[in-house]
Each structure stands twice: as structure tokens, then as C-alpha cells.
Amino acid sequence: MYSIVQPFLLHAVTSVHAGSGSEIGLVDLPIQREKHTGFPKIESSSLKGALRYHMTLSANGNKDEEKKLELIFGGEKGDDNNTVASATALSDARILLFPVKSMRGVFAWVTCPQV
């Protein structure tokens, strides 16, 4: 379906909280987690929406730029006259490295085979 595949790495400089909606329980806004491992993740729809939003802001009302964004991300949700499908597909953002306290410095990046 898609002919070009590129890795897309994110480096969180500050805390990230991708919420999974509201639940009735001890935590008001739980984070998104993988079902099988319980590791935190960011769903692809959240990533795609955030990318589209920030790229739309940078277009500054330029009609040519907005048309390009429409071709890349597809038509606006709820626009029945627009049937342009998205030209990009993202997968969920999964954790690769995690910072932990270290005796040699402030922190160290760790990973495991389970990741």
C-alpha cells in the first residue's frame, strides 16, 4: 500500500502525558498503554492530529500550503464534500529508551529485549 517507510523518532524533552480518556478509578486521566506489555505509548491518531495541527499553524492561511496539507493528511473531518484520503500512515509511538537514575551521571538511557 505505502511504498516508502521511514523511522520517525521522538525525543521528549519534557514530560509527556498522552491520555486515554477518563476512567472511574484512582487516576482521573490514565495514560495510553500497550495491552500486552503495559508500556506507555502514543496512538497514531494522536500523533497525526498533532502533526497536522502544527503544520496548519505554520501554513499561516496560505491556500497553496493548506492544499498540500490536505493531500498529505486527507480532508478535514466532517467535511462531506471532501473525499481526499490521507497519503501518510503512522504507527503508534512506542517507547525505545527510558531514563533511569545513574551513579555515573544524572541519568542513563536503558532498554530491554522486551521493547
CB 97 within 8 A of CB 111: yes
Question: How confident is the model at residue 2, as a pLDDT?
Answer: 74
The CB density around residue 103, as the number of other CB atoms within 10 Å, is: 5
Residue 89 has a pLDDT of: 87
Rounded to an integer, what distance in angstroms lies between the CA atom of residue 18 and that of residue 46? 8
pTM: 0.72
Q: Model confidence at 79, in pLDDT bands (50, 70, 90)?
A: low
Q: Which residue in the block uniquely carries the three cell numbers 530491554?
A: 112
5 found inside a domain: no
Is 93 part of any domain? yes
Helix (H) or strand (E) holding 69: helix 63-73
* Percent helix / strand / coil, the chain, rounded to 5: 25, 15, 65
Residue 57 belongs to some domain of the structure: yes
Task: Show the domain range for 106.
Answer: 42-110
| pLDDT bracket for residue 25 (50, 70, 90) | low
Is the pLDDT at 60 greater than 80? The verdict is: yes
Query: Residue 26: is its pLDDT beyond 80?
Result: no
Grid coordinates of 51: 502533526
Is the residue at 1 inside a domain?
A: no
Q: And the C-alpha cell for 86? A: 490521507
Check residue 46 and give its pLDDT. Answer: 87
Provide the greatest CA pair distance for the chain.
60
80 has a pLDDT exceeding 70: no
Cell numbers for 9: 523518532
Crossing angle of helices 44-59 and 63-73, in 10° steps, is 170
| Count of domains forming the chain | 1
Examine residue 99 and state whether it is found in any structural domain, yes or no: yes
Would 24 be classed as within a structural domain? no
What average pLDDT does range 74-102 have in this prediction?
A: 81
- pLDDT of 28: 64
